[in-house]
């Protein structure tokens, strides 16, 4: 059994944040039904495709079933309403207002199914002055302050290389949904769960907001360095860079032993975290005088032996072939009927009793139309009519 077996989720989502939310629920065993317009969601036409199947779509829609439904036709809305009556959770990521226009707003669906948990993931949330604006990860990274703290100290703006506001909004959405399910367990009441890319990104600025509130200064980008501890950053070796986190006194002493620089451990300028932060530039210059003489592999082997946290800066080909990533089942092989053998990322949280798994690739367009409509009680003749009318 998977943890969320028996939970039915209607997924009326596009792009990344909300599909990532429902993908995580699907990996844990929820019956996620992805509902797309008859032409398929835009993501199906994204780049990075294999045999005409978009990799981005396949990546974040695995483990789901898929149906098509034209919500601009009353018959399509009618099917959606019947589906909602059988569902526990409904997830959408339209701009606020659009769902209501399509007849799938919270009030309408909650009236049909008071137990429904309705999750809305948008750029800015359903209320507040920017509620109506469209929002993307980039915009949220900029407005949350994340771009202002990422990159070289004096370089051009850089965002987090991964779309972290999208991904975090998806995860916060899943968290809200599961919390709402606990409330429903006690009361039978569903509710509205409302989160956004901007809020998710802001919730990730815990250290940075704290720094500002305490010091009154705007946190700056620091390359790879930590804002409150040193040495904790990428260091130069003879053949590239590696990372070291030797931020407390014990690890700093071990680190100095590994690089054979007892003078640094004894230097009063580097005694204690605060002193090391104050003299970080000098400290790193001194450290790199030594680390630049040997290779990354040389230092990583020694640091590992001494228990000092350190690691390579992997490219994705390296990260995705790393023996530990493989041992933790983070790389999964799937066979897609159109794209053929494909790879997917695994489930990052391991449950001993009810483990999640990636069991099936993303659905083909309308792949499960017949199965889902039959479950809802539509006869074959009715399904033929719906198809002829372009409803499904």
Question: Residues 297 to 336: which contact another protein by CB under 8 A?
Answer: 304, 307-320, 322-325, 327-328, 330
- Of the residues 32, 139, 256, 391, which one makes contact with another protein according to CB under 8 A: 139
Instruction: Please identify, using beta-carbon distances, which residue of 171 and 365 lies nearer to another protein.
Output: 171
Size of the site for another protein (CB under 8 A): 157
Distance in angstroms between the alpha carbons of the first and the last residue of the chain: 32
The binder of another protein chosen from 17, 55, 291, 358 (CB under 8 A):
55
The span from the CA of 72 to the CA of 60, in Å, is: 26
**Catalytic site residue from 88, 166, 194, 368:** 166
Residue 155 touches another protein, criterion: CB under 8 A: yes
CB atoms within 10 A of CB 226: 15
Q: For another protein, give the closer residue by CB, 17 or 84.
A: 17
42 an active-site residue? no
The set of residues, in sequence order, having a beta carbon less than 8 Å from that of 21 and lying 6+ positions away, is 13, 91, 119, 121, 169, 170, 171, 173, 174, 177
Both tokens assigned to 191: 């509710």
Residues 70-99 that bind another protein (CB under 8 A): none
Nearest approach, Cβ of residue 209 and another protein (Å): 6
Which residue's CB is nearer to another protein, number 94 or number 378?
A: 94
228 and 289 Cβ atoms separated by less than 8 Å = no
Q: Which of 28, 256, 362, 392 binds another protein (CB under 8 A)?
A: 28
Residue 253: other Cβ atoms inside 10 A: 17
122 is a contact residue toward another protein (CB under 8 A): no
- Whether the Cβ atoms of residue 43 and residue 15 lie closer than 8 Å to each other: yes
Write the DSSP assignment of 117-176 as a string of letters. EEEEEESS-SSSTTTTS---HHHHHHHHTTGGGSS-TTSS----SS-HHHHHHHHHHHHH
Q: Of the two residues 222 and 370, which places its CB atom closer to another protein in the complex?
A: 222
Candidates 73-81, 194-202, 263-271, 382-390: pick the segment binding another protein (CB under 8 A): 194-202
Binding residue for another protein, selected from 113, 191, 291, 369, defined by CB under 8 A: 191
Show the tokens assigned to 48.
């990075």
Q: Is 370 in the site for another protein (CB under 8 A)?
A: no
- Catalytic machinery residues: 166
């Amino acid at each position: 059994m998977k943890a969320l077996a028996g939970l039915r989720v209607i997924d009326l989502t596009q792009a990344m944040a909300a599909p990532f939310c429902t993908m995580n629920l699907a990996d844990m065993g929820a019956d996620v039904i992805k509902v797309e317009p008859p032409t398929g969601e835009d993501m199906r036409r994204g780049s990075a495709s294999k045999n005409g199947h978009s990799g981005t779509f396949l990546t974040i829609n695995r483990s789901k079933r898929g149906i098509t439904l034209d919500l601009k036709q009353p018959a399509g809305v009618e099917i959606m309403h019947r589906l909602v009556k059988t569902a526990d959770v409904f997830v959408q990521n339209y701009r606020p207002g659009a769902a209501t226009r399509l007849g799938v707003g919270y009030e309408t669906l909650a009236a049909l199914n008071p137990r429904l948990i309705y999750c809305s993931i948008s750029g800015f949330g359903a209320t507040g002055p920017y509620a109506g604006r469209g929002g993307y990860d980039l915009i949220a990274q900029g407005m949350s302050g994340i771009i202002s703290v990422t990159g070289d100290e004096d370089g051009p703006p850089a965002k987090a290389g991964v779309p972290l506001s999208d991904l975090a909004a998806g995860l916060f959405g899943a968290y809200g949904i599961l919390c709402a399910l606990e409330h429903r367990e006690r009361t039978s009441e569903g509710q509205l769960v409302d989160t956004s890319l901007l809020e998710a990104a802001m919730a990730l600025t815990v250290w940075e907001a704290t720094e500002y509130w305490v010091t009154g200064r705007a946190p700056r980008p620091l390359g790879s360095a930590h804002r409150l501890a040193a040495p904790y950053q990428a260091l130069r070796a003879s053949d590239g860079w590696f990372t070291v986190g030797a931020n407390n006194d014990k690890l700093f002493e071990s680190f100095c032993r590994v690089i054979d620089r007892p003078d640094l451990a004894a230097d009063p300028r580097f005694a204690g975290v605060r002193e090391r932060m104050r003299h970080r530039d000098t400290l790193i210059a001194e450290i790199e005088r030594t680390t630049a003489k040997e290779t990354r592999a040389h230092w990583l082997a020694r640091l590992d032996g001494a228990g000092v946290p350190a690691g390579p800066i992997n490219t994705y080909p390296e990260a995705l072939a790393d023996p530990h990533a493989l041992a933790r089942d983070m790389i999964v092989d799937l066979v897609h009927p159109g794209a053929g053998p494909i790879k997917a990322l695994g489930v990052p949280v391991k449950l001993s009793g009810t483990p999640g798994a990636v069991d099936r690739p993303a659905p083909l367009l309308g792949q499960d139309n017949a199965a889902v409509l039959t479950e809802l009680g539509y006869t074959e003749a009715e399904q033929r009519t719906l198809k002829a009318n372009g409803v499904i």
